[in-house]
Chains A and B, each alone.
Chain A
Amino acid sequence: DTAVSQTPKYLVTQMGNDKSIKCEQNLGHDTMYWYKQDSKKFLKIMFSYNNKELIINETVPNRFSPKSPDKAHLNLHINSLELGDSAVYFCASSPQTGLGYTFGSGTRLTVV
């Protein structure tokens, strides 16, 4: 059983397109996150949700929007994709904010 699963694993798309990445966790964790990892491997938090409420919203472009239909899901929707959005996006969850993260396997997004 996969604890945190995200799909797709790879995503290649053209500039200007809109795409979504899905994430689901079956750990019963209260908090879920989206992280962006750039080519230098720096992990930057984008969003986190605790019990369906946004509690962190770092300074990311408003083209990025998290959607959480329930506690077990946190999807990431990206509008008008740009070349600079190319990165690996990780979903994660934790039982409480900031502790004991479990990461998904990542989605490698390539914008061409």
Chain B
Amino acid sequence: GQSLEQPSEVTAVEGAIVQINCTYQTSGFYGLSWYQQHDGGAPTFLSYNALDGLEETGRFSSFLSRSDSYGYLLLQELQMKDSASYFCAGSKGNQFYFGTGTSLTVIP
């Protein structure tokens, strides 16, 4: 299978900016998606990069470089409610894979 690697844990201060990286081991993914999951909840879709570059949605931005097999999720003006797990996900043909997940803790 394919692997998408993320840092396991990130801690950041309320109001700050944090970047969560995602690197994948194979080329050919059609694009990269990002999902947020709070403890006890279901993953919810945040953003999708079909092409290289930056996509902005409110406080969240996502970036993709297919030539580098790399993407990131940028969260600005962090709020306590942003404490959650974040997953990147890539699709290739009919196959779809989630990253290892990053647990983000926002502290006062």
Residues of A participating in the B interface, judged by any CB pair closer than 8 Å = 33, 35, 41-45, 48, 50, 55-56, 58, 90, 97-106
Contacts and interface: CB of A to CB of B under 8 A. Distances in A.
Contacts of B42: 90, 103-106
Contacts, number: 60
Contact of A45 (B31, B35, B97): B97
Given A41-B85, A42-B101, A43-B87, A97 B44 contact: no
Contacts of B93: 97
19 contacts: A42-B98, A43-B101, A44-B98, A45-B95, A48-B94, A56-B94, A90-B43, A97-B94, A97-B96, A98-B91, A98-B96, A99-B33, A99-B48, A99-B91, A100-B45, A101-B33, A101-B35, A105-B41, A106-B42
Pairs A-B, 5 closest by C-beta atoms: A98-B91, A103-B42, A43-B98, A98-B96, A55-B94
| B interface secondary structure, majority | strand
B7 to A, nearest CB: 14
